[in-house]
């Protein structure tokens, strides 16, 4: 018969696998969001450029990447909750509470089955998952901001009659 600690450690191991799987799933979702962004944005810019009366409105196509930027940031926010949980588990496994747990016979200082880290926020948690901070990630701001800038530039060039 397994001890309570052995059972809890097995649950913690399962939770680590769940957290890692969730992080990968969020990566797949954000990849899909980017693919949809490029497709819809390219079609809207192309449509504005093909039709001469809409060329002046090409700058409005910057709304497309802007909206998807928010969607991508939201999914990354969820992903960062899982990442925070991974950090929490790592701190537990590498800290003094693990030894104390073996002495006591049950886990100390960590809640089980909390893959999205709903109970153990800790210092810096809110800043870590804040959507504005996530939107400023270089990989996101260059990708989405670049598309917005291209849309505005195309719109300005179209308004000036240079396209």
26-37 pLDDT, tens digit per residue, is: 999 999 999 999
88-125 pLDDT, tens digit per residue, is: 999 999 999 989 999 998 899 888 888 887 776 678 88
42-100 pLDDT, tens digit per residue, is: 999 999 889 877 887 889 999 999 999 999 999 999 999 999 999 999 999 999 998 99
Written as one string, the DSSP assignment of 94-157 is HSHHHHHHHHHTS--S--SS-TT-SS---TTHHHHH-HHHHHT-HHHHHHHHHHHHHHHHHHHH
pLDDT band for position 1 (cuts 50, 70, 90): low
- pTM for this predicted structure: 0.86
The domains of the chain are located at 4-159
Mean pLDDT of 124-142: 94
114 and 82 Cβ atoms separated by less than 8 Å = no
In whole angstroms, give the CA distance from residue 54 to residue 161: 12
In whole angstroms, give the CA distance from residue 56 to residue 36: 24
49 and 154 Cβ atoms separated by less than 8 Å = yes
């Amino acid at each position: 018969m397994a001890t309570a600690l052995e059972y809890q450690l097995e649950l913690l191991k399962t939770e680590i696998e769940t957290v890692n799987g969730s992080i990968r799933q969020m990566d797949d979702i954000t990849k899909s969001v980017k693919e949809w962004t490029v497709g819809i944005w390219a079609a809207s810019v192309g449509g504005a450029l093909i039709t001469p009366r809409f060329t002046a409105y090409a700058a409005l196509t910057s709304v497309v990447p802007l909206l998807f930027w928010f969607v991508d940031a939201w999914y990354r926010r969820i992903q960062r909750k899982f990442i925070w949980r991974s950090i929490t588990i790592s701190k537990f496994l590498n800290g003094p509470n693990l030894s104390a747990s073996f002495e006591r016979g049950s886990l100390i200082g960590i809640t089980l089955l909390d893959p999205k880290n709903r109970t153990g926020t800790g210092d810096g948690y809110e800043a870590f998952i804040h959507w504005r901070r996530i939107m400023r990630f270089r990989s996101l701001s260059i990708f989405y901001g670049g598309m917005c800038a291209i849309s505005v530039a195309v719109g300005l060039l179209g308004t000036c009659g240079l396209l």
